[in-house]
Amino acid sequence: MRVAVAVGVSTPPVATMRSSCTRRIVAVSYRFVSMHMAAAPLSRTLSTESVAARLTSAGLLRTKGLIGANWTDARDGKTMPVYNPSTGEVIADVPFMGSKDTEDAIEEIGQLITLEQGKPLKEAIGEVNYGASFIEYFAEEAKRIYGDIIPPTLNDRRILVLKQPIGVIAAITPWNFPLAMITRKVGPALACGCTAVIKPSELTPFTALAAVELALQAGIPPGVLNVVMGDAPAIGDALMANTRVRKITFTGSTAVGKKLMAGAAGTVKKVSLELGGNAPCIIFDDADLDVAVKGTLGSKFRNSGQTCVCANRILVQDGIYDKFAAAFSKAVQILQVGDGFSEGASQGPLINDAAIEKVESFVEDAVSKGADVLLGGKRHSLGRTFYEPTVLGNISSDMIVSREEVFGPVAPLMRFKTEEEAISIANDTNAGLAAYIFTTNVQRSWRVTEALEYGLVGVNEGVISTEVAPFGGVKQSGLGREGSKYGMDEYLEMKYVCLGDMNRK
């Protein structure tokens, strides 16, 4: 019922949204200016004390720092005086803040992500920047929603194409990127003039709520963004059934994505899906070893292996296998496991018990079928859901770890002999999101890139997501693209207009 109310918000055309935002800004500015005008004209005969008192009562002499929405003292309580240069009198003391206070101001959303999702603070702050990049990119892109004029085949008519907002959209998002997966959907939706109902993961709702609070503070009109959370299947069903919801955009598991796609059929909604991957990372004999180790490490261990673009199968050619296995294990050994707020930790906990039990079962299955544990291979001594960064060797295609996403800090190494064999293993999956190759041979990099059945390919690079490039998978990894100019089309309808009777005199 609540969902129905939330999606009952009508879709304001872009122009209306812009003008109501503008009206709001104008109203606030006017209030600010009139407050100043209302004050008596300043006179040199007024004392520092009386001016300060009047400004204080008007709320305009602020003596604290502003962090988030709160007026804040320095962490250590230190203050510094500010003087009137004319008289030498102290006007007031303000907090003497340092680097820690500054970090507080920058890190708030990052801290929230670390708090509810577990990833190390540095990585969480990286996600804040990545998340913000979608808002910035699509705010700019809103200016380029071009239509088209098509030459007609009959001379008494003219043909135009208009792009219009699709309407109310529903965005269902996962826990592994609690901010960026929302902004990647909501950024283009707002730019196109759509309203949105956001359904964040129940495991990480706080970041979503903070993000919409910031949107309200920034002047997004009430009703444009809505957030619901709780009984995911019930919410999903209500969104699917509602005829006013014209698009569903989802990031999450393949199983839920298929359900949503089937559900969307009932009201013929536009659907875009970012689903699971099974990313191959292919290291050829001619790879630069350092580049391959660094790239594979970045791809595999980001967010403790909990991203759908993390390398899931590391295919290593015979001639470089031993050298790569040794160098890679050495690099993985240095990774520090710990609470996301602890200094130096680059590997946080897994999201919950189900996640660590899955990782454990995949490793047990591999070992029972002949895999070698080169590093780790068990729960971390920190307990709870911490798992040791793990490298497994001698992986074969009958092991679960080579067929399904492990979504944890486990790097399985498979040996191959020829380029054809590597391509065949890489494509032998229903998934098709990200793939990585490491080679110094230009011809090979083109050949293999073109042969890989994947939506994204990193060549000598392990971390490739960016707001300016299209993100999305082929086969059962999804439908549609997010980010970049291509991400806009998902939120637009095209209208063909035929102007007839043009030759009437």
Is residue 238 a contact point for ligand ADP (CB under 6 A)? no
Q: Which is nearer to ligand ADP, 195 or 254 (CB)?
A: 254
Q: How far apart are CA 309 and CA 497, in angstroms?
A: 41
Applying CB under 6 A, which of residues 12, 126, 167, 236 lies at the interface with ligand ADP? 236
Q: Of the ranges 15-23, 70-78, 83-91, 173-181, which one interacts with ligand ADP (CB under 6 A)?
A: 173-181
- Long-range own/partner contacts, residues 96-102 (CB < 8 A, 24 or more apart): 97/65, 98/74, 100/75, 101/65, 101/67, 101/72, 101/74, 101/75
Distances from the Cα of 434 to the Cαs of 278, 460, 495, in angstroms?
Answer: 8, 13, 34
Instruction: Quote the least distance from Cβ 166 to ligand ADP, whole Å.
Output: 19
Stretch that binds ligand ADP, among 62-70, 140-148, 197-205, 426-434 (CB under 6 A): 197-205
Please, are residues 359 and 349 in contact by the beta-carbon 8 Å criterion?
no
The answer to whether 82 touches 91, Cβ cutoff 8 Å, is yes
The HSE-up count of residue 105 (CA atoms within 13 Å, CB side) is: 14
> Which of 64, 259 has the CB closer to ligand ADP?
259
Q: Is 197 an interacting residue with respect to ligand ADP (CB under 6 A)?
A: no
All residues at 6 or more sequence positions from 93 whose CB lies less than 8 Å from its CB, including other chains: 63, 79, 80, 81, 82
Catalytic residue among 127, 141, 274, 467: 274
Question: Coil, strand, or helix at residue 334?
Answer: coil
Q: Does 259 bind ligand ADP (CB under 6 A)?
A: yes
CA 347 – CA 121 distance, rounded (Å): 10
User: Residue of minimal CB distance from ligand ADP?
Assistant: 236
CB 410 within 8 A of CB 363: yes
The backbone torsions φ and ψ at residue 426, rounded to the nearest 5 degrees and listed phi first, read -60, -40
By CB under 6 A, name the one of 93, 148, 202, 318 that touches ligand ADP.
202
Q: For ligand ADP, which is the closer residue by CB, 260 or 374?
A: 260
Please tell me whether residue 172 binds ligand ADP under the rule CB under 6 A. Answer: yes
Out of 12, 65, 174, 455, the residue judged to bind ligand ADP by CB under 6 A: 174
Min. distance of Cβ 174 from ligand ADP in angstroms? 4
Q: Which residue has the tokens 């964040």?
A: 200
Task: State the Cα–Cα distance between residues 324 and 326, nearest whole angstrom.
Answer: 5
**CA dist., res. 51 & res. 372, Å (int):** 76
Separation CA 267–CA 253 (nearest Å): 22
Closer Cβ to ligand ADP, 201 or 299, answer by number: 201
Tokens at residue 6, please? 């939330």
Q: Binding pattern to ligand ADP, positions 49-88, x when CB under 6 A?
A: ----------------------------------------
Quickly count: other Cβ atoms within 10 Å of residue 153's Cβ.
7
- Confirm or reject binding of residue 231 to ligand ADP (CB under 6 A): no
Minimum distance from CB of 470 to ligand ADP (Å)?
Answer: 21
Q: Cα 350 to chain center, whole Å?
A: 18
Query: Which residue of 21, 55, 67, 232 would you call a contact of ligand ADP, by CB under 6 A?
Result: 232
Nearer to ligand ADP, 137 or 175 (CB): 175
Q: Which is nearer to ligand ADP, 253 or 445 (CB)?
A: 253
| Helix axes 205-217 and 180-192, enclosed angle (nearest 10) | 40
Given the rule CB under 6 A, which of 82-90, 212-220, 229-237, 408-416 is the region that contacts ligand ADP? 229-237
Task: Decide if residue 233 touches ligand ADP (CB under 6 A).
Answer: yes
User: What's the min distance (Å) between Cβ of 456 and ligand ADP?
Assistant: 19
d(CA 135, CA 187): 5
Contact status, residue 315 vs residue 414, Cβ threshold 8 Å:
yes
Q: Which residue of 252, 408, 412, 462 would you call a contact of ligand ADP, by CB under 6 A?
A: 252
Q: Quick check: 384 binds ligand ADP (CB under 6 A)?
A: no
Q: Which stretch binds ligand ADP (CB under 6 A): 84-92, 171-179, 291-299, 446-454?
A: 171-179
Is 274 a known active-site residue?
A: yes
Q: Which is nearer to ligand ADP, 284 or 407 (CB)?
A: 407
Residues with catalytic function: 274
Q: Which residues lie near ligand ADP (CB under 6 A)? A: 172-175, 199, 201-202, 232-233, 236, 252-253, 256, 259
